[in-house]
Structure 1
Amino acid sequence: MNTILSVQQLGHSFPGDITALSDIDLSIRQGRCLALLGPNGSGKSTFLQHLNGSLRPQHGRVLLQQEPVSYSRQGLNRLRSKVGLVLQDADDQLFAASVYEDISFGPLNQGLTAAETGQRVEAAIQAMGLAGLENRPPHMLSGGQKKRVAIAGALAMAPQVLLLDEPTAGLDHAGIAQLIDILQSLMQRGITIVFSTHDVDLACRLADDIALFAAGRLIGFGERSRILLDQAMLLTAGLSPSLLLQMVAFARQHGWLAADAAMPRTDREIMDLIGKWQQAACQPA
């Protein structure tokens, strides 16, 4: 698979000699979903902000499609037209008088015509399930709706990569389930997803690959099952093992789930797995 974004020996410190990132080497493959997994303060958000140029590396470099990112105005415009960032708190990102105006801001500033912008905005509204809210002021929306408007604003820029910082923060169970469905549909369209989280089971459900962060360092990177089955590595990062992955491994071991069965991602698939477990448990020995 092609590498769409990568960092080499990336390092960053904040005033007071606080190290946020130290010597990070990481390649992000096109069309995959990557979870940046780690506890609060481990460097995940700082890393995301480097990927779209919001922060400039103090050490190392960021590459877009194998070419070093230029931090000129033209270079940053090129980067941000391909790499969209959605902040953890949607209120930090929404500022226009209506949902439609907020989503259209990015395309208009890209220099698109009103007709092209309208097409982009309508597609983003449909993708995020926002029809009927176009004229609503963003501050009158629920937390989940605000999150979807923020994502729609990024989608309207037609990015190849979508970065999301703690996308489920502040959402209830229904909002999380809806967001997972939306992100999976975006992945099916070929958009590369990178999201930060401290939720091991969310990473298990949604990601293809895991980058495990601890104290500003990348301590593990690879396919989901390899990283999440390494309990010692998770404990080093201060995280608990994935309950979902343990359920799947146990079900496969006992023949309740085929060895090549896909990892359950949706609520329905997880409930089906629990149902199979209950049926097997009720069978006479």
Structure 2
Amino acid sequence: MNTILSVQQLGYTFPGHVIALSGINLSIQQGRCLALLGPNGSGKSTFLQHLNGSLQPNQGSVFLEQEAVSYSRQGLNRLRSKVGLVLQDADDQLFAASVFEDISFGPLNQGLAADAARQRVEQAMQAMGLVGLENRPPHMLSGGQKKRVAIAGALAMAPEVLLLDEPTAGLDHEGIAQLIAILHSLMQQGITIVFSTHDVDLACRLADDIALFAAGRVIGFGERSQILLDREMLLAAKLSPSLLLQMVALAQDKGLLAADATMPRTDHDIMALFSHQQPTACQTAG
């Protein structure tokens, strides 16, 4: 696997000598989904903002495809053409008079011709299930729709990496299920996804890899099963074990699931545990 983004000895201090990040070393592999998992205030959002150049580190470096990021206009344009960021509150990103105009802003700002930009916007709207909302003012949308418009705006710039800060914040159950399905689809298209969350179950459902944050440091990094099965490490980050993991443990205790079975990722996988059906290799891949 190729490393598309990485940081070395990354540190950042807010004004007033408030340390947000300290000594972080992390590599993000192309085509995988990485969850930045940790409690509120652990540095996840600050770290995300370093990955697309919204913040510049006080210490250490950020690398795009093994090359140190330059914070010149040219360097930031190169970084942001490959790495899109979606903020936690979609209202912070939506500003145009219509959904179509909002999603068009990025591609047009990249210098694309109108026809090429329109094609990008239409593809992004299709991917995010927004067809039919082109002329709707963003402020008249539901929370879930606003979130999808913000993601579509990032996708329209054809990024290789999509950064999502607490992507399910403020969404109801249906909105979360829709977003998870969409993100799974984007992952299947080869887009690298990095998202922050304090929701252990969401990390279990989406992530291939997990970086466990606590007090501005990464205290654990590895494949999701390695991190999520480490109860002591989760407790060190002030997190509770995943409900999915507890269900897996119960299924194993009752003989419904082999001891070495892959953790479930989808609702279908979970239901299969309790219907005496084993998830297929395709369903449990990752």
Q: Same fold (TM over 0.5)?
A: yes
The size of the alignment, in residue pairs, is: 277
* Structure 2 match to 1:101: 101
Q: Does 1:49 align with 2:49?
A: yes
* Structure 1 match to 2:235: 235
Distance 2:263 2:158 in 1: 29
Structure 2: stretches of 5+ with no match in the other structure = 278-286
* Structure 2 match to 1:60: 60
* Structure 2 match to 1:138: 138
Distance 1:262 1:231 in 2: 18
Alignment-mate amino acid for residue 141 of structure 2: L
TM-superposed CA distance for 1:245, in Å, is 1.7
Residues 8, 26 of structure 1: 8 Å contact kept = yes
Structure 1: stretches of 5+ with no match in the other structure = 278-285
TM-superposed CA distance for 1:258, in Å, is 4.4
Alignment-mate amino acid for residue 216 of structure 1: G
Distance 1:80 1:235 in 2: 35
Pair 1:261–1:118, CA change in 2 (3 A): farther
TM-superposed CA distance for 1:269, in Å, is 2.8
Residues 207, 224 of structure 1: 8 Å contact kept = yes
* Structure 2 match to 1:175: 175
Distance 2:261 2:157 in 1: 36
Q: Deviations over 1:46-101 (max 9, x none)?
A: 00000000000110000000000011101100000000000000000000000000
- Higher mean C-alpha deviation, range 251-260 or range 238-247: 251-260
Distance 1:260 1:118 in 2: 48
Q: Deviations over 1:252-278 (max 9, x none)?
A: 46541245654322333323334449x
Distance 2:10 2:167 in 1: 24
Distance 2:74 2:154 in 1: 19
Distance 1:86 1:195 in 2: 9
Residues 86, 151 of structure 1: 8 Å contact kept = yes
TM-superposed CA distance for 1:243, in Å, is 1.7
Pair 1:157–1:140, CA change in 2 (3 A): same
TM-superposed CA distance for 1:15, in Å, is 1.2
Instruction: Name the % identity.
Output: 83
SS in structure 1 at match of 2:84: strand
SS in structure 1 at match of 2:94: coil
Residues 4, 29 of structure 2: 8 Å contact kept = yes
* Structure 1 match to 2:194: 194
TM-score (norm 2): 0.94
Distance 1:155 1:88 in 2: 16
Distance 1:245 1:269 in 2: 12
Q: Does 1:78 align with 2:78?
A: yes
Q: Deviations over 1:208-234 (max 9, x none)?
A: 000000010110000001111111111
Q: Deviations over 1:180-222 (max 9, x none)?
A: 0000000000000000000001101110000000010110000
Residues 177, 267 of structure 1: 8 Å contact kept = no
TM-score (norm 1): 0.94
Q: Deviations over 1:5-36 (max 9, x none)?
A: 00000000111111100000000001100000
Distance 1:51 1:254 in 2: 44
Alignment-mate amino acid for residue 200 of structure 1: V
- Higher mean C-alpha deviation, range 234-243 or range 144-153: 234-243
